[in-house]
Amino acid sequence: MFENSLIRIDVEKSEVPWLKIFSQKPYREFFDATDEVKAEILRALDVIGKEMIEFYEPEKINIASFGNYLPHLHWHVMARFKNDSYFPEPMWGKKQRSGSYRLERFDEFIEVIKGKI
Protein backbone atom coordinates (compact mmCIF):
# COMPACT_ATOMS: atom_id res chain seq x y z
CA MET A 1 0.00 0.00 0.00
CA PHE A 2 3.02 2.29 0.51
CA GLU A 3 6.76 2.22 0.01
CA ASN A 4 9.76 4.46 -0.15
CA SER A 5 13.50 3.76 -0.20
CA LEU A 6 13.55 2.83 3.51
CA ILE A 7 10.29 0.99 4.30
CA ARG A 8 7.21 -0.59 2.81
CA ILE A 9 3.78 -0.96 4.40
CA ASP A 10 1.58 -3.96 3.60
CA VAL A 11 -1.97 -4.85 4.54
CA GLU A 12 -2.61 -8.05 6.50
CA LYS A 13 -6.05 -9.43 5.65
CA SER A 14 -7.88 -9.75 8.93
CA GLU A 15 -11.10 -9.00 10.74
CA VAL A 16 -9.34 -6.02 12.40
CA PRO A 17 -7.32 -3.14 10.92
CA TRP A 18 -3.82 -4.62 10.59
CA LEU A 19 -0.79 -3.19 8.79
CA LYS A 20 2.79 -4.43 8.59
CA ILE A 21 5.86 -2.21 8.24
CA PHE A 22 8.96 -3.78 6.64
CA SER A 23 12.44 -2.40 6.19
CA GLN A 24 13.39 -2.38 2.51
CA LYS A 25 16.79 -3.85 3.27
CA PRO A 26 16.72 -7.26 4.98
CA TYR A 27 17.88 -6.39 8.48
CA ARG A 28 17.49 -9.26 10.92
CA GLU A 29 16.93 -7.05 13.99
CA PHE A 30 15.78 -3.48 14.63
CA PHE A 31 19.17 -2.87 16.26
CA ASP A 32 20.94 -3.74 12.98
CA ALA A 33 19.11 -1.04 10.99
CA THR A 34 20.54 2.38 10.27
CA ASP A 35 19.34 5.33 12.33
CA GLU A 36 17.51 6.62 9.24
CA VAL A 37 15.58 3.35 8.82
CA LYS A 38 14.78 3.20 12.54
CA ALA A 39 13.44 6.77 12.45
CA GLU A 40 11.28 6.01 9.41
CA ILE A 41 9.83 2.89 11.06
CA LEU A 42 9.03 4.83 14.23
CA ARG A 43 7.45 7.63 12.17
CA ALA A 44 5.25 5.11 10.34
CA LEU A 45 4.30 3.39 13.63
CA ASP A 46 3.30 6.76 15.06
CA VAL A 47 1.19 7.78 12.04
CA ILE A 48 -0.54 4.40 11.75
CA GLY A 49 -1.23 4.06 15.48
CA LYS A 50 -2.63 7.58 15.82
CA GLU A 51 -4.83 7.15 12.74
CA MET A 52 -6.12 3.77 13.94
CA ILE A 53 -7.14 5.40 17.22
CA GLU A 54 -8.76 8.38 15.48
CA PHE A 55 -10.49 6.38 12.75
CA TYR A 56 -11.58 3.21 14.60
CA GLU A 57 -11.58 4.11 18.33
CA PRO A 58 -10.23 0.67 19.31
CA GLU A 59 -9.88 -0.75 22.79
CA LYS A 60 -6.11 -1.05 22.26
CA ILE A 61 -3.41 -0.83 19.60
CA ASN A 62 -1.13 -3.88 19.45
CA ILE A 63 2.38 -3.51 18.04
CA ALA A 64 4.60 -6.55 17.59
CA SER A 65 7.92 -7.43 16.02
CA PHE A 66 8.81 -11.09 16.32
CA GLY A 67 10.33 -12.24 13.03
CA ASN A 68 10.79 -15.82 14.20
CA TYR A 69 9.41 -17.27 10.97
CA LEU A 70 10.45 -14.39 8.75
CA PRO A 71 13.80 -13.02 9.96
CA HIS A 72 13.36 -9.72 8.11
CA LEU A 73 12.77 -6.63 10.22
CA HIS A 74 9.05 -5.94 10.31
CA TRP A 75 6.38 -4.65 12.68
CA HIS A 76 2.70 -5.55 12.99
CA VAL A 77 0.27 -2.77 13.96
CA MET A 78 -3.28 -3.86 14.83
CA ALA A 79 -6.34 -2.12 16.21
CA ARG A 80 -8.03 -4.37 18.77
CA PHE A 81 -11.61 -4.51 19.96
CA LYS A 82 -13.31 -6.29 22.84
CA ASN A 83 -15.61 -8.01 20.37
CA ASP A 84 -12.96 -9.26 17.91
CA SER A 85 -12.50 -13.03 17.78
CA TYR A 86 -9.21 -13.15 19.67
CA PHE A 87 -9.36 -10.32 22.22
CA PRO A 88 -7.61 -10.15 24.67
CA GLU A 89 -5.28 -12.76 23.11
CA PRO A 90 -2.96 -11.79 20.23
CA MET A 91 -4.41 -12.13 16.74
CA TRP A 92 -2.29 -15.21 16.05
CA GLY A 93 -3.17 -16.73 19.43
CA LYS A 94 -6.08 -18.89 20.48
CA LYS A 95 -9.45 -17.80 19.15
CA GLN A 96 -11.67 -16.78 22.07
CA ARG A 97 -15.09 -16.59 20.40
CA SER A 98 -16.88 -16.03 17.15
CA GLY A 99 -16.30 -12.29 17.10
CA SER A 100 -18.92 -9.71 16.26
CA TYR A 101 -16.49 -6.96 15.19
CA ARG A 102 -16.84 -6.07 11.51
CA LEU A 103 -14.09 -4.20 9.72
CA GLU A 104 -15.64 -1.26 7.89
CA ARG A 105 -14.27 1.56 5.76
CA PHE A 106 -10.82 -0.06 5.53
CA ASP A 107 -10.19 1.29 2.02
CA GLU A 108 -10.96 4.77 3.32
CA PHE A 109 -8.61 4.22 6.27
CA ILE A 110 -5.82 3.15 3.89
CA GLU A 111 -6.30 6.33 1.86
CA VAL A 112 -5.98 8.42 5.04
CA ILE A 113 -2.72 6.62 5.91
CA LYS A 114 -1.35 7.12 2.40
CA GLY A 115 -2.08 10.83 2.67
CA LYS A 116 -0.29 11.18 5.99
CA ILE A 117 2.67 8.85 5.58
Cα 27 from Cα 9, distance rounded (Å): 16
Cα 16 from Cα 99, distance rounded (Å): 10
Q: What is the pLDDT of residue 66?
A: 83
45: burial class by Cβ within 10 Å (0-12, 13-18, 19+)?
Answer: middle
CATH of 2-107, one of 3.40.50.720, 3.30.379.10, 3.40.50.10490, 3.30.428.10: 3.30.428.10
In this prediction the pTM is: 0.94
Which has the closest alpha carbon to 12: 93, 100, 79?
Answer: 79
pLDDT, mean of residues 25-44? 96
The domain locations on the chain are 2-107
Say if residue 71's pLDDT is above 80: no
The beta strand positions in the chain, using DSSP E, are 2-3, 7-11, 18-23, 60-64, 74-80
pLDDT, mean of residues 50-65? 97
Cα 31 from Cα 52, distance rounded (Å): 26
